[in-house]
Amino acid sequence: MSTSKGPVPVDPSAIVFSADGSASLVGGKCARCGRAFFPKREICPLCFDQGIVEQVLLGPRGKLVDFTVVYRAPGREVPYALGYIRVDEGLLLLAPLTECDPERLAPGMDVEIVFETVEGPGEEEIITFRYKPA
């Protein structure tokens, strides 16, 4: 009988769930200076104790800036692709991509986030995210 507690986010500080169960990436924005952060952080480096870092849900869309396809990574299923994606608030995110054929990827292309539940190294289920060409 499974004693699993249910799927857990790959990083609880980076993913939040709305009332309808849909997931979003969450960043932060300082209410005083407007600087944005990902993942969300507690303290604004500029404003320190005068700043308030508020939670900001990141939208699903972005632009692929750079990518690489990984062909050798012991213990991981290859090939897989990773990219830097520019999202809302001008933030640059590192994320895996759904597509790993370099012919179908190009810097500047529009991408969109997908959340997925995958099996972790143990028996746990992990909620993670990738970006797919939009």
- Provide CB contacts within 8 A for 47, sequence distance 6+: 30, 32, 33
- Residue 57 lies near another protein (rule: CB under 8 A): no
- Residue 96 lies near another protein (rule: CB under 8 A): yes
Closer CB to another protein, 32 or 35, in the complex: 35
Provide Rg for the chain, Cα atoms.
Answer: 17
Site for another protein in 99-128 (CB under 8 A): 102, 107, 128
- Residue where the block lists tokens 């972790």: 120
- Residue 91 lies near another protein (rule: CB under 8 A): yes
CA dihedral 9, 14, 17, 22 (to 10 degrees): -90
For another protein, the binding residues (CB under 8 A) are 10-11, 14, 36-39, 65-76, 80, 82-84, 86, 90-92, 94-96, 102, 107, 128
